[in-house]
Chains A and B, each alone.
Chain A
């Protein structure tokens, strides 16, 4: 036989030997162990604008990063918690952006009203548009959401609606860059933790059950279409919020809000960061969005790159970075005798 040491042993850390979410925290160290990563994330995100103060360009990147993170969270929520794959995230950005432009420019709503109003209106419209395919299972949702952004672009272009290919200009900008930074960061954190709360609640369980087995959910007296519509509404609200914000940052709403990047980067981020845990989406964006800024020079080649990385991740490491790191964080590994 061998000289021992030929099997890697994995042991869960003591604190994780828990029974159904109940565990005793007995020392400061354990508290730190549990809340450390969370604090790191929150503090990191909040400090980011301060750290990047000398680089105004990168401060803007942080804003865009947050918008992408919102979209990625929405995608992750729909795909891995309810089982609906949304291939057209840019639809949400576009709807939110155009609504914000209409509210702000045409109806003269102030910025702090136009963003939430646009998010709400966009979410309502998106849910109504998607509603017909919600009673169907499988690929219909993916197909229909894939079509909408392309159709919106064509329709706006063809009929010269809403400023046609020039878009709507003259939106109010944020009063200051710090406000601009922190408003989206706070929105992101609120969405992140709020959505996690929803998912950990019983309604989250019901949504999970819809993904697992919708027939049984119906037999349990719950309207599956209603639950799905609610989920779509939540997701599109989050997405439209990002879109409305973005329109105000750019002070412009145009066809590029329906750009492919808004559809594919969130998907790639979720795949890389790991699905099912909302933090994975944020982590994925933290990696991808700065990368995409560096690759700005390459134009559409970036999309090729995302898609390649995305496919590679799906095939080779389908769990994603975040669950992988969580696993490593919660386990000891050591060599043991076989």
Chain B
């Protein structure tokens, strides 16, 4: 049973076809990895699905409902969250206050999952809980620091935490591993696994293939806005078109 399916999504910027006819679907609890060289339309794909860019053609179905031209905040409210490639935390707020914003959203309030019905203090506690879950040390000063003073590793986690605060069903992660050191990535991987265990569906867009292949159940490869391969990672990297996209055309 697929939780989210995309049919023939297309988007043109000026004369440039950023996406054309991309179709795929994700099953509940699955981790789908999306790879592709720079400019192959990965981020545009996320933007189109999550409503930050209006797609020109195609459909996005979430649990059977057509969410194609919904506005971004509505899509987030039904449970499709995303992170940004260029991190966009609220720099002027402390890390834990960053989470108050998603916790304040109608989804988090109505869902009743968080104890915070509206009381000020409750949301703060929930925020700290989420941060701890995602790898901020509860007893340190880190969760209370201004986001602008945090290093990249924490900011990437904060992006994820902001998604988690929405209690999403699907998370689109735009390059969460990029810019992190090997050890930081190594500590992120179990986190991703943990989210999967929690029943969250993840779509990871990644350049760090080795790490991605460790966690992803399925891989989809994009080039020039088109899907060129899909399947188990071993099959995908053996695909001649994927090889060509990454290595260039071999001259015989």
Interface residues of A (CB under 8 A from B): 19-20, 201-203, 205-206, 208-209, 212-213, 215-224
Contact = CB atoms under 8 A, between A and B. Distances in A.
B93 A219 contact: no
**Residue with the greatest number of chain B CB neighbours at <10 A, chosen from A206, A213, A224:** A213
Contacts of B179: none
Interface stretch (B60-68, B103-111, B225-233): B103-111
Nearest to B96: A20
A221 B82 contact: no
Nearest to B91: A212
Contacts of A20: 94, 144
A219 B120 contact: no
Interface of B: 50, 52, 71-74, 76-77, 81-82, 84, 88-94, 97-98, 100-108, 118, 120, 123, 144, 162-163, 165-166
A202 B104 contact: yes
A224 to B, nearest CB: 7
B77 A221 contact: yes
B120 A202 contact: yes
A221 B84 contact: no
A221 B107 contact: yes
**Residue with the greatest number of chain B CB neighbours at <10 A, chosen from A202, A216, A221, A224:** A221
Contacts of A215: 52, 84, 88
Contact of A221 (B89, B98, B106): B106
Contacts of A222: 73, 101-102, 104-106
Say what secondary structure dominates the interface of chain B: helix
18 contacts: A20-B94, A202-B118, A202-B120, A205-B93, A205-B101, A205-B104, A209-B90, A209-B101, A212-B90, A215-B84, A216-B162, A217-B73, A219-B50, A220-B162, A220-B165, A221-B74, A221-B77, A222-B101
Nearest to B99: A220
A208 B106 CA distance: 18
B166 A220 contact: yes
- Shortest beta-carbon contacts, A-B, top 10: A221-B76, A221-B105, A220-B102, A218-B72, A221-B77, A212-B90, A216-B88, A209-B101, A209-B90, A222-B105
Contacts of A224: 73
Given A205-B93, A216-B89, 19 more contacts: A20-B144, A202-B100, A202-B120, A205-B104, A208-B93, A209-B90, A209-B101, A212-B91, A213-B90, A213-B91, A216-B162, A218-B76, A219-B72, A219-B88, A220-B101, A221-B102, A221-B106, A222-B106, A223-B71
A206 B52 contact: no
B156 to A, nearest CB: 14
A66 B84 CA distance: 45
B101 to A, nearest CB: 5
A216 B166 CA distance: 12
B120 A201 contact: yes
Given A212-B90, A219-B76, A220-B166, A205 B100 contact: yes
Contacts of B101: 205-206, 209, 216-217, 220, 222
A213 B100 CA distance: 14
A300 B151 CA distance: 52
Contact of B92 (A202, A208, A217): A208
Contacts of A212: 90-93
A219 B104 contact: no
**Residue with the greatest number of chain A CB neighbours at <10 A, chosen from B52, B72, B106:** B72
A218 B52 contact: yes
Contact of B84 (A202, A208, A216, A223): A216
Contacts of B89: 213, 216
A211 to B, nearest CB: 8
Contacts of B100: 202, 205-206
Contacts of B88: 213, 215-216, 219
**Residue with the greatest number of chain A CB neighbours at <10 A, chosen from B103, B105, B108, B162:** B105
Nearest to B102: A220
Contacts of B144: 19-20
Contacts of B71: 218, 223
A208 B97 CA distance: 11
A219 B76 CA distance: 6
A212 to B, nearest CB: 4
Contact of B81 (A205, A206, A219, A223): A219
A85 B104 CA distance: 25
A19 B144 CA distance: 9
Contacts of A206: 100-101, 104
A20 B105 CA distance: 23
Given A20-B144, A202-B123, A215-B88, A220 B105 contact: yes
Nearest to A222: B105
Nearest to B107: A221
